[in-house]
Structure 1
Amino acid sequence: MIAVLMGGNSAERAVSLKGGEAVYQALNNQNIDCFKFDWHKDNLSKLWQQEFDQAFIVLHGRGGEDGYIQKQLENRGIRYTGSDSNASHNGMDKARTKMIWKQHNLMLAPSIVASINQPVKPIDFPLPWAVKPTLEGSSIGISKVDSQTQLNEALTLAWQYNPHALVEQWIEGDEYTVAILGDKALPVVKIITDQGFYDYESKYHSNETQYLCPCDLSPSQEKALQAIALKAFFAINAKGWGRGDFIINQHNKPYLLEINTVPGMTSHSLVPMAAKAMGMNFNQLVVAILDEI
């Protein structure tokens, strides 16, 4: 029996519920024994009262993507989709991820961490800057800072979600994403948005956001980006499935933004889109992710 875990208590709850419902329907369509569980507030104890031997995690953000639910499942000997608790923790914390990637000589924008109630370190890289909470996904709490005077407001917003914020150089360029399934990278998707950057609105609500798959990279560029995504994925010990996000600047240099260890599974989501480009429908994708457990 498979438990489809959705909802959660993070800022990405609504997205998780949509994706969880889609995964549940896909399993049902294939007559796979499953039930859905909406983790909400402190009702997690009800999950452990149910009989199941596998979990399909469609939880995003804190609690679901940071290693907490993974650790709970590990402690009970229940197998689950995606990365283990340590890799999930590494992938969720943007500052920690960047520290690991730096050791692997991956291309990153310069950055500092700014913590609430502590002096902000001198920033020695040029404006504009991106300011984001270290522990949120879906571009929640992110700001573009064009002048020093906007920094405090941007940090205040980021600190509403987490006491630590990442301030990094804003890289102008085109956005790309690479989905990973097992040890393979799927076709690259290019994201074109009219919002200035790929924010929450662009991801989940806008019908103006465009996705190119196949993308506009040459075969050799696409292969190179896929190789970087795999290196970044395995550097944090991620496994099963995930997604790497990039900016390619005007000099064709790819900068890693982040790795998602539990990517979205809604109708607007990028992993299903990449899978479709290689001939895999949503039902098949869900089973393929399960097969990686």
Structure 2
Amino acid sequence: MTTSPRVAVLAGGLTHERDVSLRSGRRVAEALRTSGLEVSVHDIDADLIPALVALRPDVVWPIVHGPTGEDGAVSHVVELLGLRLVGSGPHEARVAWNKPVAKAVLERAGVHTPAYATLPHTLFRELGATSVLDAIVARLGLPLVVKPSRGGSALGVSWVTTADELPRAMVECFAYGDIALVERAVTGTEVAVSVVDLGDGPLALPAVEIVTDGPYDYDARYNAGRTEYFAPARLTPDEAAAVAGVALRVHHELGLSRLSRSDLILRPDGVVEFIEVNVAPGMTETSLLPQAAEAAGYELPALYRALVEASL
């Protein structure tokens, strides 16, 4: 390993989360440069592969949110070029990206997750929307959360409190993907627990508690003022240990590498419910992993450099 690795940060792409990815990529690149590394930033376009072939960076850090980034596609291309990655490999990323598949894997491992149904758009045309939606409510009850089976940043996510709201929620969900995940709504303390591996094994950073006036949607996530964060979360030592343990279990059972962020809900009875996991966490000024890192006492440039060096 060289004393100053060359890092290629990938950000952007043609997804609904392009702007967030660009903001995340810029902040990581700035932090890595502050730590003394040589960094270049690349969009996901026709110039990417020629640029990586010419540059031959020591490591590539994909910070691409949404399809092609979090689904492992870009990581697979990086591996095909014989380059190292910061983060999970393509196969593990693909499982984590598919929310119903990740939930099924974790359920088998004993991790609690809300009851759910996975419904493709074509099923509504074939069976009739009314009958399908009636069956969902009869089985899962109300309230419900409707979300795309693959996606992030709460795009296409709706909280449904009455049966009359469900059809519109499904329409909004299908605008972002052709498969909907409908799950029983769980109430409690909403937390995000980030996991990093700096070479000595996965470590859970302090949980970040999320408090919003209304749903934790796209606007609440990326526009300062709508959401209040507590880092570390206002949990007892036992509660903090419980949510950290679930995040580490998720990271292990899904075979993830270097960094991940699990979104969890701590129910009033102490049960931790897994909601979803992100293998390319946001790195913007309001994102949760940077908040957790700072709560743990890390300087971001040093932490990001350590992730790069561990990946080498």
| TM-score normalized by the length of structure 2 | 0.89
1:164 partnered with 2:179: yes
Question: Structure 2 CA distance, aligned partners of 1:200 and 1:276?
Answer: 23
Q: How does 1:247-286 map to 2 (within 5 A)?
A: 247-286=265-304
- Structure richer in helix, relative to its length: 2
1:190 aligns with 2:209: yes
> Aligned ranges for residues 44-63 of structure 1 at < 5 Å?
44-51=48-55, 52-63=57-68
2:70 is aligned to: 65
More divergent stretch after superposition (230-239 vs 24-33): 24-33
Unaligned segments of structure 1, at least 5 residues: none
Does the residue aligned with 1:214 lie in a helix, a strand or coil? coil
Residue 74 of structure 1 deviates from its aligned partner by 1.0
Where in structure 1 do 4 or more consecutive aligned residues deviate above 6 Å?
none
Q: Does 1:237 align with 2:242?
A: no
Partner of 2:104: 99
2:189 alignment counterpart = 174
User: In 2, distance between residues paired with 1:172 and 1:278?
Assistant: 27
Choose the corresponding residue for 1:133, options 138, 143, 148: 148
CA distance in 1, matches of 2:160, 2:184: 10
CA contact under 8 A between 1:15 and 1:266: conserved in structure 2? yes
The alpha-carbon deviation at position 291 of structure 1 amounts to 2.8
Whole-angstrom CA distance in 2 between matches of 1:102 and 1:284: 36
**Whole-angstrom CA distance in 1 between matches of 2:172 and 2:194:** 29
- 1:18 matched to 2:20: no
Between stretches 113-122 and 57-66, larger displacement belongs to: 113-122
Deviation (angstroms), 1:43 = 4.3
Seen in structure 2, the aligned counterparts of structure 1 residues 78 and 175 have a Cα distance that, compared at 3 Å, is same
Q: Could you say which residue in structure 2 is the equivalent of 1:117?
A: 122
Q: Deviations over 1:64-113 (max 9, x none)?
A: 11110111011111001110001100111111111111111111100000
Amino acid at match of 1:19: S
> Is the CA contact (8 Å cut-off) linking 1:6 and 1:16 kept in structure 2?
yes
My pick for the range that moved more, 29-38 or 133-142, is 29-38
Aligned to 2:34: 29
> Which deviates further from its counterpart, 50-59 or 116-125?
116-125
Aligned position for 1:209? 227
Aligned mates of 1:89, 1:223 — CA distance in 2: 28
Identity %: 31
Question: Would the aligned equivalents of 2:65 and 2:280 in 1 still touch at CA under 8 Å?
Answer: yes
Q: Which amino acid aligns with 1:190?
A: E
Count of matched residue pairs: 291
Q: Give the Cα–Cα distance (whole angstroms) in 1 for the partners of residues 165 and 54 of structure 2.
A: 50
Matched, 1:80 2:89: no
Quick one: distance in 2 between partners of 1:156 and 1:43? 36
Q: For each residue in 1:215-248, what CA deviation from the matched residue of structure 2 results, as whole angstroms up to 9, or x when unmatched?
A: 2111111111101111011111111011111112
Instruction: Please tell me whether the aligned partners of residues 35 and 302 of structure 2 are also in contact (alpha carbons under 8 angstroms).
Output: no
CA contact (8 A) 1:272 1:281 kept: no
Q: Which runs of 5+ in 2 are unaligned?
A: 1-5
Q: Please, what TM-score do these two structures have when normalized by structure 1? A: 0.95
d(CA) in 2 for partners of 1:93, 1:86: 11
